[in-house]
Amino acid sequence: MEASSSKLHIVIDSAGDMPPGWIEEYAIQVIPINIHFGEQMFLQGVDLSNSDFYRMADESGVIPKTSQPTPQQFSSFYRSIAQPGDMILSLHVTGKLSGTYASAELASRELRDEYKIIPFDSGCGSAAMGYMAREARMMERAGATVDEILARWQTIRRNVQIILTLDTLEYARRSGRVKALQAALASLLNVKPIITLHEGVLELGERVRTRRKALEFVVNEMVRRMGAGPVNVAIVHAQDPQAGEKLAQAACKLLNCNELIITELSIGVAANLGPGTVGVVAYPTAGG
């Protein structure tokens, strides 16, 4: 399947994180996740910025909720960016935590006579999705086929690691996005939980007593998992750039970083994990 046989659109949902410049540089289209404050609904990044999100959460005392774009929202979005006959690679947050991928699949079936749409479950989220979208565009510009791009995405999905630490448990408790977290809450008072991605699900890992030790654990655990080979690394944070910088410095020293970016955690993710969440995303560099 040739990427050059029609115009190739690369779509991700806003649970993916990346430096702002990548959207334009690599022609990545972002469909927003729905953010709910009580009865009000906003589109992430369209009528609700990161700063507005945290301000509203602080002022209202309401912990927001998220919902996936509906199939109708997907259909409208696809039609707004593509011409009939175009190819769309639609990359989405793990289907085990969100219905976004399922909505994309329904929309792709509805529009199958108009566009060539391939929804793809990333099995992850955050900056891993940003890296995957960028790699797809770079591969397409280098002459890769769609099948080659999908094969690379499958490789990243199998090998990506995400390790986070939370500063507050309240958001995760209410969202229910972290597996086994509800039952473990009673034993987690005054500790900083470590959250890891395992087979598309966020799982509760170690319990570390202080923020400093939690940050150290996150980096050391990523080193243990990644080994000495070259890796692409992202430091993600929710309103804690200082912790992000500390993690970046440690990661540069301890990991074989082919590339390292620092990016703010999308509010679609932060709404489920809370401000102060910080972590490391890493996967082996192509050919490394």
- 80 lies in a domain? yes
Q: What is the CATH number of the domain that holds 236?
A: 3.30.1180.10
Domain boundary at 142, 157, 172, which?
157
120 and 150 in contact (C-beta within 8 Å)? Answer: yes
Q: State whether 121 and 109 are in the same domain.
A: yes
- 44 lies in a domain? no
Task: Identify the residue whose tokens are 């940003």.
Answer: 130
* 3-state helix/strand/coil string of the chain: CCHHHCCEEEEEECCECCCHHHHHHCCEEEECCEEEECCEEEEECCCECHHHHHHHHHHHCCCCEEECCCHHHHHHHHHHHCCCCCEEEEEECCCCCCCHHHHHHHHHHHCCCCCEEEEEECCCCHHHHHHHHHHHHHHHHCCCCHHHHHHHHHHHHHHCEEEEECCCCHHHHHHCCEECHHHHHHHHCCCEEEEEEECCEEEEEEEECCHHHHHHHHHHHHHHHHCCCCEEEEEEECCCHHHHHHHHHHHHHHCCEEEEEEEECCHHHHHHHCCCCEEEEEEECCCC
168 and 275 in contact (C-beta within 8 Å)? Answer: yes
- 54 lies in a domain? no
- 176 lies in a domain? yes
Q: State whether 16 and 102 are in the same domain.
A: yes
Q: What is the CATH number of the domain that holds 8?
A: 3.40.50.10170
| Residues with Cβ within 8 Å of residue 132, at least 6 apart in sequence | 12, 91, 122, 153, 156
110 and 80 in contact (C-beta within 8 Å)? Answer: no
195 and 273 in contact (C-beta within 8 Å)? Answer: yes
In this prediction, residue 1 carries a pLDDT of: 53
Domain boundary at 127, 157, 187, which?
157
Q: State whether 74 and 126 are in the same domain.
A: yes
CA nearest to 251, candidates 278, 286, 207, 216: 216
Q: State whether 144 and 174 are in the same domain.
A: no
- 140 lies in a domain? yes
In this prediction, residue 58 carries a pLDDT of: 80
- 196 lies in a domain? yes
- 100 lies in a domain? yes
87 and 3 in contact (C-beta within 8 Å)? Answer: yes
Q: State whether 74 and 94 are in the same domain.
A: yes
Number of domains in the chain: 2
70 and 99 in contact (C-beta within 8 Å)? Answer: no
What is the extent of the structural domain holding 221?
160-284
Q: State whether 192 and 268 are in the same domain.
A: yes
C-alpha to C-alpha distance for 125 and 156, rounded to whole angstroms = 12
In this prediction, residue 255 carries a pLDDT of: 97
In this prediction, residue 186 carries a pLDDT of: 40
Domain boundary at 122, 157, 192, which?
157
Compute the CA torsion angle 138, 141, 143, 145 (nearest 10 deg). 60
Structure tokens at 203: 């799982």
Per-residue confidence in pLDDT tens, the chain, 288 aa: 544 445 999 999 999 999 989 999 999 999 999 999 888 899 988 888 888 888 888 888 787 888 999 999 999 999 999 999 999 999 999 999 899 999 999 999 999 999 999 999 999 999 999 999 999 999 999 999 999 999 999 999 999 999 999 987 777 766 666 655 544 554 556 678 898 988 888 888 888 889 999 999 999 999 999 999 999 999 999 999 999 999 999 999 999 999 999 999 988 888 888 889 999 999 999 876
- 144 lies in a domain? yes
Q: State whether 144 and 189 are in the same domain.
A: no
In this prediction, residue 181 carries a pLDDT of: 56
C-alpha to C-alpha distance for 234 and 37, rounded to whole angstroms = 29
Q: State whether 212 and 170 are in the same domain.
A: yes
Q: State whether 181 and 259 are in the same domain.
A: yes
Q: State whether 16 and 128 are in the same domain.
A: yes
In this prediction, residue 167 carries a pLDDT of: 86
C-alpha to C-alpha distance for 54 and 48, rounded to whole angstroms = 10
In this prediction, residue 179 carries a pLDDT of: 57
Q: State whether 104 and 135 are in the same domain.
A: yes
168 and 274 in contact (C-beta within 8 Å)? Answer: yes
Is 89 buried (19+), middle (13-18) or exposed (0-12) by CB count in 10 A?
A: buried
Q: State whether 248 and 177 are in the same domain.
A: yes
